[in-house]
Amino acid sequence: MRKESIFTGAATAIVTPMNAQGIDYEAFERMLNWQVAQGIDALVICGTTGEGSTLSDEEHREVLQFAINVVDGRVPMIAGTGSNDAAYAIDLTKYACSIGYDAMLLVTPYYNKTTQRGLVAFFTAIADASTKPVILYNVPSRTGVNIEPATYAKLAGHPMIAAIKEANGNISKIVETAALVGDRLDIYSGNDDQIVPVLACGGKGVISVLSNVVPAETSLMCKKFFAGDVQGAMELQKKYLPLTNALFCEVNPIPAKAAAAAMGYGENYVRLPLVTMEETARQHLLECMREVGVNV
């Protein structure tokens, strides 16, 4: 069963500007509007990069509501509603559906983890409660659990499970998954250093941290590939690799927050257990930004 794609191209997993007093909504509004003006293809709110795991329940809902109001239908909006507690994820998913989000992003359950059979039960329970399509987010380096290709194949039959954000870094497994799920699940790269390789495996785009800094260019990388300019897409992949590496030299979203602050979008502030970048690493990040033309 072919499902409608949520988006094609680049979606920014956007940072949530904060300070010691709470959410910096003024900076957040400016960043959302800039992303749309730059031609980003979709936005992910309250994901890992948005520090969703350290937002209170009230803040999480407020940020989701604020962002959907600001963007006002200009691009597809995806809500990070995943949790390691199925009941909480279901509740948050229902809320995001009710306020107009186009899709949900559901991370694998961290710490308590579960088995492959448990993953099927977990994602099925949340998808059953959703009135909008869901994207499964596989990031084993952070959660300690990996979605196997055969598990994707089982989940692909659910009418509300529409896509994968794959950040396992294993191209061979992505090829295996693509072979098993066919056109029943769209695949998005979850790693900015593998955008073009995943597109070459049949991917529909990327859910990106890089595009917090260079949204137009990240989207262009995908557009070039889909237009048949694979070499041009790969040139952009290589051009932005040093910046990509700098954005992941410390735990995400520590560098992304530093980059956003340098661009004028709020303070360089992250919530514990995250801490701000080491200064030498931050200076290297700023230099990488300048080298690709970012004014910082």
Backbone angles phi, psi at 182, to 5 degrees: 55, -130
Host H or E run for residue 226: helix 215-226
Round to whole Å and give the CA distance between 96 and 130: 9
Helix (H, G, I), strand (E, B) or coil at 162: strand
Look at the block and give the residue holding tokens 């988006």: 7
End-to-end Cα, the chain, rounded Å: 47
> Known catalytic residues?
137, 165
From CA 131, how far away is CA 5, in angstroms rounded? 15
d(CA 221, CA 205): 9
Assess contact for 15 and 49: CB atoms under 8 A. Answer: yes
* Tokens standing for residue 232: 């041009």
